[in-house]
């Protein structure tokens, strides 16, 4: 059977050509795009069960945000339990588990797939093609015999189109965990019967602004003092601030693990002796060396999600010698996320500049988890008017559209 698969930076899903989104986990229709290889067993877990086990075990290799590595030629392979795995092998393990769960729900085989991909994996066309090729390889290794691609905002557009009674020019904006994608497209009842839709796309664009960077902004502006920002230590006869390369690594959960090495341990030992705040250096040590980054970022994400509906939220985290209780107000969050909102605005303006001047946009369809950030919505309300904004299930529009595209992609 045919299906659509949305392999997201943080969430993935499977849908049929009817638009029905299949159950893939005990918890529902979304699966977290992660893997866990426990240390001393031959197992590998995917999605929710991987997270549960990782939080219990801690030891082992936990892998997330695989999608963001796709365009990077520097990430090709990694060693896990003395085996060398290519990035496409890792993604294949995840996709296979997703496919298997969907097939169990359905009771039928899924062999033809329309995979989503961002409007741009990379601005470099070589890297972009490289990313898609690796994703295709992964889908084939996962057992799909036919693999076709559709950009994610077009997929979201097709989901929205299913609800339209008349033709409209729609700006579709999908704000995920890793990227934001925009597409200006003609949609509606007279358009959806056509097999070739490329002519309906007026312009599309994308930018690396997503939920992960909003999380990083909370870390950067509110939490770094817990890990030594603003403290000094002795080097020779001078007092020096904690090196910025160490603090900047803390801004991404993935990069944090890159400094878990001997040289950092030595630096931390040295800082510990003379630091003006030894508790903060102890917290830095435990965060990096005991691999607490994932859990901390979950706590940050939770506060960010709360800020979508409340005026203030508190990041609460306590593990080993890391103890955080830090309130973030919506106003603060809006202020320090302003550069990200500005990037979104520049990307939107560039797209509009490429469209013919006389076109009137009828509606703006906002989707993806990060579309729930009030400042993101406010940007589009300011530019287009609140009355033109439309929403649906933020997490399933893309996959629903990918599913709907499958019959056309594999016609005959
Ligand atoms: N209520 C909320 N408010 C703000 N952000 C949210 C909310 N709910 C989820 N998010 C964020 O949305 C993101 C996940 O959204 P989504 O599932 O659309 O992304 P994805 O498809 O995995 O990523 P991408 O499309 O970039 O590959 C995460 O960064 C998450 O923190
Ligand atoms: Mg997405």
Please tell me the predicted confidence (pLDDT) of residue 400. Answer: 97
In this prediction, the residues of the chain whose per-residue pLDDT falls under 50 are none
Topology of domain 2-163+393-409, CATH: Nucleotidyltransferase; domain 5 (3.30.420)
The CA R_g of the chain, rounded to the nearest whole Å, is: 22
User: Three-state SS for 165?
Assistant: coil
Reading the block at residue 294, the tokens are 């994932």
Q: What burial letters (b/e) apply to 180-189, b meaning 16+ CB within 10 Å?
A: bbbbbbbbbe
Among 33, 30, 106, which residue's Cα sits nearest to residue 65?
Answer: 33
Angstrom distance (rounded) from CA 4 to CA 383: 32
Asked if CATH classification 2.40.110.10 holds for the domain at 166-391, the reply, yes or no, is: no
Q: Which residues have beta carbons under 5 A from ligand 2 (an ion)? A: 8, 176
Please tell me the predicted confidence (pLDDT) of residue 238. Answer: 94
Please tell me the predicted confidence (pLDDT) of residue 195. Answer: 74
Q: Is 2-163+393-409's fold the same as 166-391's?
A: yes
Which residue has the CA at smallest separation from atom 21 of ligand 1? 8
| DSSP conformational letter for 321 | T
Reading the block at residue 165, the tokens are 């009674």
User: Three-state SS for 348?
Assistant: helix
Beta carbons of 6 and 398 less than 8 angstroms apart: yes
Please tell me the predicted confidence (pLDDT) of residue 259. Answer: 79
Please tell me the predicted confidence (pLDDT) of residue 311. Answer: 98
Probe residue for ligand 1, chosen from 209, 334, 370, 377 as the CB with the greatest number of ligand atoms within 8 Å: 370
**Largest CA-CA distance found in the chain, in angstroms, rounded:** 77
Probe residue for ligand 1, chosen from 369, 375, 377, 396 as the CB with the greatest number of ligand atoms within 8 Å: 369
Please tell me the predicted confidence (pLDDT) of residue 40. Answer: 79
What residue spans define the domains of the chain? Answer: 2-163+393-409, 166-391
Closest ligand 1 atom, residue 175 Cα = 18
Which residue has the CA at smallest separation from atom 24 of ligand 1? 176
- CA distance readout (Å), 389 to 157, 355, 357: 14, 19, 21
* Burial tier of 390 (Cβ tally within 10 Å: 0-12, 13-18, 19+): middle
Please tell me the predicted confidence (pLDDT) of residue 57. Answer: 82
Which residues, in sequence order, are bridge partners of residue 294? Answer: none
pTM of the model: 0.92
pLDDT in tens, 159-193: 999 999 999 999 999 999 999 999 999 999 999 88
Query: What are the pocket residues of ligand 1 if the criterion is a CB atom closer than 6 Å to any ligand atom?
Result: 8-11, 67, 176-179, 210-212, 301, 304-305, 308, 368-370, 372-373, 395
């Amino acid at each position: 059977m045919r299906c659509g698969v949305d392999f997201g930076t943080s969430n993935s899903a499977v849908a049929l050509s009817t638009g029905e989104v299949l159950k893939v986990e005990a918890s529902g229709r979304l699966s977290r795009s992660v893997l866990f290889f426990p240390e001393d067993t031959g197992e590998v877990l995917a999605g929710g069960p991987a997270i549960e086990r990782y939080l219990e075990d801690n030891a082992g290799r936990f892998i997330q945000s695989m999608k963001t590595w796709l365009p990077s030629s520097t990430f090709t392979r990694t060693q896990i339990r003395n085996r060398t795995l290519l990035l496409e092998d890792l993604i294949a393990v995840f996709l296979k588990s997703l496919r298997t769960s969907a097939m169990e729900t359905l009771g039928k085989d899924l062999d033809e797939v329309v995979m989503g991909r961002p409007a741009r994996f990379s601005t470099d066309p070589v890297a972009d093609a490289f990313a898609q090729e690796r994703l295709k390889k992964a889908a084939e290794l996962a057992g799909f015999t036919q693999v076709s691609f559709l950009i994610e905002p077009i997929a979201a557009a097709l989901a929205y189109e299913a609800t339209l009674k008349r033709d409209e020019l729609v700006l579709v904006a999908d704000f995920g965990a890793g990227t934001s994608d925009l597409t200006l497209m003609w949609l509606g009842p007279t358009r959806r019967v056509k097999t070739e839709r490329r002519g309906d796309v007026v312009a599309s664009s994308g930018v690396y602004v997503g939920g992960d960077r909003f999380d990083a902004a909370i870390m950067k502006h509110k939490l770094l003092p817990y890990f030594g920002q603003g403290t000094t230590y002795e080097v020779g006869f001078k007092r020096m601030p904690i090196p910025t390369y160490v603090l900047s690594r803390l801004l991404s959960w993935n990069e944090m693990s890159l400094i878990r090495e001997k040289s950092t341990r030595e630096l931390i030992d040295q800082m510990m002796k003379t630091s003006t705040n030894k508790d903060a250096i102890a917290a830095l040590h435990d965060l990096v060396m005991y691999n607490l980054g994932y859990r901390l970022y979950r706590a940050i994400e939770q506060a960010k999600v709360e800020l979508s509906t409340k005026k203030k939220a508190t990041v609460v985290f306590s593990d080993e010698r890391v103890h955080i209780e830090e309130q973030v107000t919506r106003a603060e969050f809006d202020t320090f996320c302003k550069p990200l909102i500005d990037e979104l605005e520049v990307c939107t303006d560039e797209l509009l500049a490429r469209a013919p001047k006389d076109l009137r946009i009828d509606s703006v369809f906002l989707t993806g988890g990060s579309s729930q950030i009030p400042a993101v919505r406010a940007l589009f309300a300011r530019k287009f008017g609140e009355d033109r904004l439309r929403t649906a299930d933020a997490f399933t529009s893309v996959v629903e559209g990918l599913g709907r595209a499958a019959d056309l992609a594999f016609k005959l």
